[in-house]
Each structure stands twice: as C-alpha cells, then as structure tokens.
Amino acid sequence: MPFLELTLPCTEAQQPRYERALENVGALAVTLVDAHADAADEQAIFEPGVGETPLWGEMVLTALFESGTPQELLLYALSAADEGLDWSRTSFREVEDQDWERAWMDQYEPLRFGERTWIVPWNSELPDGADAADAAVVRLDPGLAFGSGTHPTTALCLQWLDGLATLGHLRDARVLDFGCGSGILALAALKLGAAHAVGVDNDPQALIATRDNAERNGVSDRLAVHLPDDEPQAAYPVVVANILATALIALADKLAARVAPGGRIALSGILAGQEDEVLARYAQDFDELRADRLEDWMRVTGVRRG
C-alpha cells in the first residue's frame, strides 16, 4: 500500500525529541540519514557502539504514515506534541510501498578487503577473485541497521583481520567481536580460519541479525552471541571492538582483560583526532600500538603485554 512520507532536517541534539513526537502521533517508521552524505554513501551507518547510538551532527529524518493522513492536521498534532520544535521545514510526498531493504541491497556491490576477504550480498553473483579456493566470502543481508562493510570503521577492521589471517594469527583462534552489529567481523574471522567467535552487543536485534547471518553462512555452530551483562569472562587471542572512541576509552580495562597475553586487539570507530587519547589509554596494557587511517576514521591496534 502507499504511504505518506514526511521529511525534515534536524540536528543530533534535536533528534530524540522529533522522533518521540512523530511516534506519539502514529508514525509507522522513522529513519535517519546523514544530511551531508553523497548519494553513493547516504545509507552507510557504522556499527552501533555498546551503550551508544551513532548519529551525525546534522541529519535528515524521514517518517512514514498511512496514506491519506491529512497533512495539515498532522502538522497541527506534531506542533501540539512538542511546541518547542520547528516543523516549518517539513515536506511531504506520497510514496508507493516497496521492499525498502531489497531496494537498497540492489545497489550494494561485493566488496573486497585485503587479500582474501569478500563481503557479498545475497542477491549478487560471486565476482572474479571471490570464487578462489582460499577466498573468505561472507554473504551478508544487513538491511539498514547494522554494519555492511561500507563504512570505513568496518573496512579497517576487515582489512586487519585479513592481515592477521595472512600471518597465521587467526588459524584455530578464538575471536571476540565486541559491538558485533550484523556480526560481519565475527563471520569474517571464522571464514578466515578462526575456530570460534563470540559476538557481544547491547542491542538484542543485533544479536538476532548476527545469529541469522551466521546460520546463512554455515558457521552458526562456531559462533555465540551475548548481551554485555551475559558475556562470558574469558580471554581471547584476538579481540576486535568497532564501537566509538568514548566507549573504547570507558571500556579500556574490560577490553584489555579480554585479550590473552600476547593476543592482538583492533579498536575502531575512532574519528581522526581522537586516536591519541585512545592510544594513551591502552598504552598501559599493550605494546606495538599503532594507528591507521581510512578517510576520516582511525583504527588502533596493539599486542597485549604478558
């Protein structure tokens, strides 16, 4: 069925109030995109951090209502729901029903990271190289909510895992993916030779997505998922945490304790300029610390001191 689509710009600070008002007057769905993203990347959403909601400073908010909803009455109801918000830049259009996730996935191309790692959507044929005997192919159907490999923070982690595999550090290893989102990093590690992976995320929907993706990739028997409070107290030879810099700093002691002596860690979700604080916080527990950059994002890696 068709819908009435409402669109308006807002800031990160205003977003919760706008979304709450829209839900209070009956919005069927509310989505967000970066106001300054180009068309090719506007749907890229980096993986949510544990206890964090990753948003942009300025964004475009879109809400769907039942077709035929009177626009003037809707604006009146929204103004009454929160009198302190500006609804003057609201625009409307009628849109036809469609499978929004499928429409986005139709534009999502296979991606290669490092030497062997490929992220390939379910609706794509394997490209040249991904059909090689040693290729590590993750078939992913992420939708719009979790990591797909398109964001630099995820790409940095996938490149790191691919490099570890080349050096033999993933062979038969146990891997912790902290802030797993779609499970893309845990799945890649398993495809690259890890024996077992654990995914941790504070969003139950992320755990559902990770389980589903693991099953579709034939590795569900080697992957476990947990909420942070249920996470097993274990140490791993490989840990990757693609969250946000503030969370990485706050969780430094916990993440360090999850890395076995001599084990390796990758920290991502760090904006350029934030890496020095992350490096300083982890220096007490890790050697060989370094920061690598992709576009405006950084990845910090190190080896756990014995």
Residues contributing to the annotated binding site: 154, 179, 201, 242
Q: What is the pLDDT at residue 92?
A: 94
Q: What is the pLDDT at residue 258?
A: 97
Q: What is the pLDDT at residue 32?
A: 73
The structural domains of the chain, ordered by start, are 3-97 (3.30.70), 108-304 (3.40.50.150)
Name the burial class of residue 306, with classes exposed (0-12), middle (13-18) and buried (19+) by CB atoms within 10 angstroms of its CB: exposed
Q: What is the pLDDT at residue 18?
A: 92
Q: What is the pLDDT at residue 100?
A: 45
Q: What is the pLDDT at residue 16?
A: 86
Q: What is the pLDDT at residue 195?
A: 98
Residues contributing to the annotated binding site for S-adenosyl-L-methionine: 154, 179, 201, 242
Q: What is the pLDDT at residue 149?
A: 57
Q: What is the pLDDT at residue 144?
A: 38
Q: Are 177 and 183 in contact (CB under 8 A)?
A: yes
Secondary structure of residue 102 in the 3-state scheme: helix
- Kindly write down the DSSP assignment for every residue of 201-228, as one continuous string: -S-HHHHHHHHHHHHHTT-GGGEEEE-G
Mean pLDDT by 10 residues, the chain (306 residues): 86 87 87 56 38 59 88 93 92 73 57 92 84 92 51 90 97 96 94 98 86 93 95 96 90 97 96 94 98 93 95
